[in-house]
Structure formats: C-alpha cells, structure tokens
Amino acid sequence: MHSKENSTYSLAIECKDTQYLFENTENKELNAIALLENGSSNRVIQKSNFKFVGEIEIDAERNNHYRIHKNF
C-alpha cells in the first residue's frame, strides 16, 4: 500500500507535466483520481485543466475522477 501523503506530492508533479506527456507519448487522454476529502489534490488536478468526469469507488473509498484530452 502507498502513502497518501506521497501520492499528493507525486500527483502535483505529474499534473504539472501534462503537456510533456502529450508531446512525448502517444497518449491522447490522461486520467486523474483524488479522494473526495483530499481538497489539495483536487485543486491541483483542476488547476491543471483536468475536467471532472464523476465519482468512482476504489478500495471502498470514494474518489473524484478527472480527465484531460490532448488538444494540440
């Protein structure tokens, strides 16, 4: 099992680099997941231009699901 504190840090780095991922991989879409109560992670995802898709359950915990599409 991973640490939720480390997940938040990793998430911030990954969201910052979405343009790099789109330019250097064949991915046309990226997904992000954050626990409902993790306001910091949700804000980082939203500020990175991910759009809210809905709520999903993972390991009996409710999460917000976001998605961003390649647009260039």
Higher pLDDT, 16 or 68: 68
Residue 5 is predicted with a pLDDT of: 45
- Cα 42 versus chain centre, distance: 8
Summarised one tens digit per residue, pLDDT across range 2-55 is 444 444 444 544 555 777 778 888 888 889 999 999 999 999 899 888 999 999
| Predicted pLDDT at 38 | 94
| Domains of the chain by residue range | 4-69
Cα 69 off chain centre by: 12
Instruction: Give the CATH fold of the 4-69 domain.
Output: Aminopeptidase (3.40.630)
DSSP string, 32-67: EEEETT-HHHHHHHHHTT-EEEEEEEETTEEEEEEE
